[in-house]
Structure 1
Amino acid sequence: MGFTYAKLPGGVLPRFIDPSALERSTRRYKSAQTSLIRHFCSTCGCHIGGINESTGIWQVSPGIFAQREGNFVIIEHIFTKSAPAGLHEWLPKIGPRSVRVWNPDGNIAEPRMPQPEKDENGKDWLRAECACGGVSFTIPRPTPEVFQDEYNRGLVSPVDPTKWKAMTDACNDCRQNTGFQLNAWVYVPLKLIKPRIGLDLTHGFMQTYSSTPGNIRSFCRVCGATVLFWGEERHTTDDNYVVNISTGILRAPDGVRADSWLTWRTEELGWFDAGCKYDRELYVSLNEGHRDWGRRVYGSLTDFKLPSPHYSSAQ
């Protein structure tokens, strides 16, 4: 949903603890639209920060530090015009303090909105693609087969049968494996993804990492984008698995939240208690902003859980 960086004073550089080292432990990526060279862990994909190619100033990812608001203070949302329907609408303030919004003059931050896409049968599909394009696949809207399956039916929006459930996530594991304080996921049956992705979650430039036993995360090994999360318990048969897709890589024509495709849970952030133990003021404010947005957009708060699978082997 958005990067969070803390800019270090000029001349202050991260000091790596042996045996890790910048060049040995990270990969780097720079897009043509920015002067920031991003660094991410070559093993798990966690973003540690980046260095401005022009000034040599470092920006670090706060999510990887044991922090509180006193250590890293979020003061502004930047380039919000380039990411319509983004995180700034959920986090207008932290505690009593407003978080300002900044955009550069001119059209530098003007969005480049994707065009709607359809499959060979004329049905809608939504593309998921990382920054470098090395990982690219599509998902459909909920299909008749989804509604015929008791488990998969539980992934569909409770208020709109053409949309999927989506949830923001404040858990420790996600934060430490991405470097950012908030992650967001949409939940989709793996077999609906095209081109097909296997249970090892390999596709294009995807690299996998097992963060905890039974859980696998995948990220692009070129640009570091978070792509998928898979838990071994999230299936009912040997060919009916569910994966989390990072909403940050969705290329929805209507903006970052993909509102025309997703219904967001607004009653409470996912793993809200874990977030509060990490930075209570931040997550309480984000939760309040999330709820205010939900009331304004949906008319009421949406609350749902993911279905609990009852696995039975197909063999």
Structure 2
Amino acid sequence: MAPDSKTLTAACHCQSIHFAITIPADALPLKVHICHCSICRYTHGTPCIFHAPLPAGVAPQFIAPSSIDKLTPYNHAESQAARHFCSTCGCHIGDRSHDDGSWVISTAVFTESNQGLWEMHTHAFTTSSLDGGLSAMFSHVDGRQLDVFNLEASLDTSKATRTEAEELRAECHCGGVSFSIARPRKEFLDSPACEGWVLSRDTSKWLALLDLCDDCRLVDGSNVIAWMFVPIDHISPSPPRDLIIGSLKSYKSSEEVLRTFCGTCGATVFYSCTDRPGIVDVAVGILRAPEGVMAENWALWRGRIGSKDDGLKYDPDFSRALIEGWKVWGSMKGMPEDFFVPPL
């Protein structure tokens, strides 16, 4: 390695994808755009994604036995680049341009924490989120104001408007996974199973949270994910025990935890663990709520972010900005400070 460069390594959760990139020192920190567009949300299952263009001539160098063949590429009619995600665990690592082969890399998959390696620079396509999404939570990181980039055509409500008032649609980008979520039903609210999953202050909504945990970061390839907790019997079509519907693939991130993602476009969809039978976590990024990404007519958000210590260790400046901004947003919205959910 030349003295005027730095080599970074990256890996997904299952370690099938393991690569290095060597960055010229004068190109650090990498400039990150936080994209809120519907394509990114529906292909990742997250409220937004975190991508940084690599300098010209720099590309992932896969470390054996890892190879690019262990990634699934995803293209769509509007794509100018192929999205790539791990075929085993679903982790997105970035996009490769059709024109010149250049890469835009995820900043969620590096094996070392952010110490001058990347820098949040821009909120992109915030209007596509309808409600601002996470861009409404923070505008500065480490005292620096983030740019905001939008195009007039970035507002996309084509699929969101199909949602019925008592039914919330969820669908990945390719449409291989599609289902509906019902509001809490009377029989559920009257049963012991309801305890802990619906708050008495608003029994029409499901609980939801933002999460900064390392495992989630490495299975979806985004620095933060959001979950909404829903009983399986309130989902139609109801997922079987293995949670496989449509084009879903499954991945066990631990003995207790089963996760699913779309095998075609890579969107994170479900999380399930053995100590929460009958309840699944639905990735908020694939919800088609007409009011916007945060689905506030459906979700009652916890005011405290999950696994914040993981986030503060991996990317302290971004995580502090999000945690503080989330507190303000939650207070303004009257969200509950806390509710108990078994560890993710």
The TM-score normalised by the length of structure 1 is 0.89
Deviations 1:42-65 (A, max 9, x none): 000000111122342201111110
- Please tell me whether residue 5 in structure 1 is matched to residue 42 in structure 2: no
Structure 2: gaps spanning 5 or more residues? 1-46
Partner of 1:177: 219
- Report the CA distance between 1:304 and its aligned residue: 2.6
Aligned residue in 1 for 2:41: none
| Number of residue equivalences | 293
Instruction: Find the counterpart in structure 1 of residue 87 from structure 2.
Output: 42
Is it true that 1:265 corresponds to 2:302 in the alignment?
Answer: yes
Query: 1:82-121 maps to which residues of 2 (within 5 A)?
Result: 82-85=128-131, 86-104=133-151, 107-113=152-158, 114-118=160-164
**Relative to structure 1, is the Cα distance of residues 31 and 91 closer, same or farther in structure 2, using a 3 angstrom cutoff?**
farther
> Does 1:216 pair with 2:258?
yes
AA partner of residue 87 (structure 2): S
Q: How do 1:38-187 and structure 2 match up within 5 A?
A: 38-65=83-110, 66-85=112-131, 86-104=133-151, 107-113=152-158, 114-118=160-164, 124-187=166-229
The secondary structure found in structure 2 opposite 1:74 is strand
Instruction: Tell me how far apart the structure 1 counterparts of residues 107 and 265 of structure 2 sit (CA, whole Å).
Output: 19
Q: Is the 8 A contact 1:167 1:264 kept in 2?
A: yes
Whether the 8 Å CA contact 1:146–1:153 is kept in 2: the answer is: no
Structure 1 segments unaligned to the other structure (5+ residues): 236-240, 309-315
Amino acid paired to 1:273: D
2:336 aligned residue: 302
Q: CA deviation at 1:154?
A: 1.8
CA-atom RMSD in angstroms: 1.6
Deviations 1:116-143 (A, max 9, x none): 534xxxx710011000000001110111
Counterpart Cα distance in 2 of 1:290 and 1:153: 26
Q: Which amino acid aligns with 1:49?
A: G
Deviation of the 1:2 alpha carbon? 0.6
Q: Output one character per residue of 1:55-92: Cα deviation in whole Å (capped at 9) or x when no partner.
A: 42201111110231511111001111112221211221
How far the C-alpha of 1:153 sits from its partner, in A, is: 3.5
Distance 1:84 1:34 in 2: 22
Displacement, 1:20?
A: 1.1
CA offsets, 1:102-126, max 9 Å, x none? 113xx321222512534xxxx7100
Contact 1:187 1:242 in 2 (8 A): yes
Per the alignment, residue 238 of structure 1 pairs with none
Asked if 1:26 is matched to 2:71, the reply is yes
Residue 246 of structure 1, aligned match among 283, 294, 316: 283
* Structure 1 pair 307–26 and aligned structure 2 pair: CA distance change class (3 A): closer
Alignment partners' CA distance in 2, 1:307 and 1:108: 39
Q: Secondary structure at the match of 1:292?
A: helix
Measured after TM superposition, the shift of residue 279 of structure 1 is: 1.7
Partners in 1 of 2:242 and 2:147 — Cα distance? Answer: 42
Q: How much has 1:157 moved relative to structure 2? A: 4.1
Give 3-state SS (helix, strand or coil) of 1:27's partner.
strand
Q: 1 CA distance for matches of 2:185 and 2:77?
A: 38
Range that drifts further, 212-221 or 156-165: 156-165
For residues 213 and 103 of structure 1, the distance between their equivalents in structure 2, rounded to whole angstroms, comes to 43
The one-character-per-residue Cα deviations of 1:183-216 (angstroms, maximum 9, x if unpaired) are 0000011121111211101100000000111110
Residue 201 (structure 1) aligns with: 243
The alpha-carbon distance between structure 1 residues 158 and 269, as it changes in their structure 2 partners (threshold 3 A), is farther
Residues 9 and 250 of structure 1: is their aligned pair in 2 closer, same or farther, counting only changes over 3 Å? same
Name the SS for the 1:287 alignment partner: helix
Contact 1:47–1:179, Cα closer than 8 Å, also in 2: yes
CA-CA distance at 1:307 after TM superposition = 5.5
Single out whichever of 65-74 and 153-162 deviates more from structure 2.
153-162
Following superposition, which runs of at least 4 residues in structure 1 exceed 4 angstroms of deviation?
none
1:265-301 CA distances to partner (integer Å, 9 max, x unpaired)?
12x2111112112222211110011111122233xx5
Distance 2:167 2:195 in 1: 18
SS in 2 for 1:34: coil
CA distances 1:138-166 after superposition (whole Å, capped 9, x unpaired): 11011112212233342124532111111
CA contact under 8 A between 1:170 and 1:270: conserved in structure 2?
A: yes
Q: Name the counterpart of 1:292.
A: 328
Matched to 1:59, the amino acid is V
